[in-house]
Chain A
Amino acid sequence: MSNVKKRLFKEKVAKVCMQLAGITITGSLFFIVGTILYKGAPYLTWEMISETPKGGFYIGKDGGILNAILGSLYLATVSTALATAIGVPISIYLNVYVKAGSFLERFSKLLFDVLFGIPSIVYGAIAFSLMVWMGIRASLLGGIITITLLTIPIVVRTIDELLKTVPVDLKNITFSLGATQWETAKMFLRYIKPGIFTAILLAFGRAIGDVAGVLLTTGFSDNLPKYIDEPSATLPLAIFFQLSSPIPEVQGRAYASALILTFIILIIVICTHLLASRQQKHKI
């Protein structure tokens, strides 16, 4: 085979591999969405999203999962907000204040890489033992603490990757105009603003979908979450409980709940994209 032919062949192989990967991933997505639509849609009633479980809900009687929808929304929103409020300053500190390549920077980044990879059950277990020690029972508060800890590394690492894309020139320019480090940090944030929404989206997705972390710390309740120190239902756990039931009606509702969860995430994704694209006005 001549050299040109060889190169063209490689080109073709690479292209086919990428297309196969694309088809596989799109196919799986359609399969997942299709399955929950097919199995869940018939059970998706107004009652499901507007009411709490009545007596006998888990054996197929009346009620809905409003308790879990609200619980998950509260938990994910508050945790994501807290994780952003804590995570963004950490990344800014590591990228603007700390000298590049210093021990502190390398150590912290390694630390967050490790934290990023720790499974949520470990966070749950640690938070649980902390809660026992502090005398907090399984509650919305416990869940928020756990999920916040779980999502901070996501925010830190995502924002960190974004900040790495900021050209060194930006720092030189704001510094040479006499800006302080804090003013420079604000300019960095302005530069990466569209990307921050992606970080928030990733954190929110992880927060609302987590089961293991909330299992030990948040508990479950059939009541609407009214107080932060009381146990609260969450959607992933509601799906888990209903799916474990042998009754087809209840299993169907599990898929309907999955549909609701997917729909919430879809709305969040769309909102994030809209917000991010509106921020790109002065992008360099």
Chain B
Amino acid sequence: MHASTSIQTAETQDLINLSTPHIQIKDLNVTIEGKRILKDINLSIPNNSITSIIGPSGCGKTTLLKTLNRLVDDTKGVEITGSVLVNGEDIYAKDAEVTHIRKKMGLLSQKPFPLPMSIFDNIAYGPRIHGERNKEVLKQIVERQLRNVGLWEEVKDRLESSASRLSIGQQQRLCLARGLAVQPEIILGDESTSALDPISTQTIENLLVELKKDYTIVLVTHILRQARRVSDHIIFVYAGEVVEFGRTEDVLLNPQNEITKQYVKGFIS
């Protein structure tokens, strides 16, 4: 099965115009406590588009996402081989600087998690740790990012109040703004709407679609309809392997692989 899937991936990859792949994954293998979680991953994730990683629970899609910003490093008993190139630089190179790599990638986690501080400080946290001390500049950043996610009008009069008082949908937008404030190039979303109501989900989805003109976005989702609504490309992962990778309509409407067909039809979940 392994040989045929990699041929499959190579074929479908040709269909995608990869003039400037932002992220390139080469021969990536991830083993956690002796168990192979990701097997021989080879992918090129294109610029300025939304790529969704789909697949059944426990297939390794979140691990794949976490290898992109090296959050996987923190897992107990993890071994990583292969390379992940961002703008041609290997983030797993010996001299690669982790904090710098992570700064390039904003993470939007499953559940909104505001830092235990005010709304203002949540956004200003990133710029502050990266050395921005000027109050006026920080104010501008906070306003710009809150406007970016459509939260400014809702919170401009209570910037000093606790971020945890916002509604859950507002919190997730705040988290997105917080990530954007450190000027990343890539946005990683780990089932970012799974805790949200339908309207907040729609707001986040629309935001992501809008943001793709400036960012490369990689999302993990278990909702096929969401993948279909927002993404340009889809990576289907099954049992730690990339089974299919291609344009959204190709993968969802005309899957080449038998497993993908079954997943898309809802026989595997």
Contact = CB atoms under 8 A, between A and B. Distances in A.
Interface stretch (A32-40, A95-103, A149-157): A95-103
Contacts of A178: 99-100, 102-103, 126, 129-130, 182
B71 A282 contact: no
B36 to A, nearest CB: 19
A243 B60 CA distance: 68
B179 A284 contact: no
Interface in B60-79: 69, 71, 74, 76-77
A173 B102 CA distance: 10
Nearest to B99: A178
Interface in A168-219: 169-180, 183, 187, 190-191
Interface stretch (B39-47, B114-122, B219-227): B114-122
A164 interface: no
A176 B76 contact: no
A176 B113 contact: no
Contact of A177 (B103, B110, B163): B103
A177 B126 contact: yes
B109 interface: yes
B74 A99 contact: yes
B107 to A, nearest CB: 4
Given A102-B76, A282-B162, A282-B163, A177 B117 contact: no
Contacts of B118: 282
A177 B180 CA distance: 9
> How many B residues touch the partner, as a band?
20 to 34
Contact of B164 (A100, A179, A284): A284
A6 interface: no
Contacts of A169: 109-111, 113
A269 B115 CA distance: 29
Interface residues of A, number: 25
A134 to B, nearest CB: 42
A interface, by DSSP: helix, strand, loop or mixed?
A: helix
B125 interface: yes
A171 B74 contact: yes
Interface in A263-284: 281-284
A167 interface: yes
Given A172-B107, A176-B106, A282 B113 contact: no
A187 B117 CA distance: 10
B105 interface: yes
A4 B156 CA distance: 54
Nearest to A173: B113
Contacts of A183: 129
Interface in B90-113: 99-100, 102-103, 105-107, 109-111, 113
A282 B114 CA distance: 10
B247 interface: no
B178 interface: yes
A134 B193 CA distance: 63
Contacts of A284: 113-114, 116, 164
22 contacts: A100-B74, A100-B76, A167-B113, A169-B113, A172-B71, A173-B113, A175-B69, A175-B74, A176-B69, A176-B102, A176-B105, A176-B107, A176-B188, A177-B103, A177-B125, A177-B178, A179-B99, A179-B129, A180-B99, A183-B129, A282-B118, A284-B113
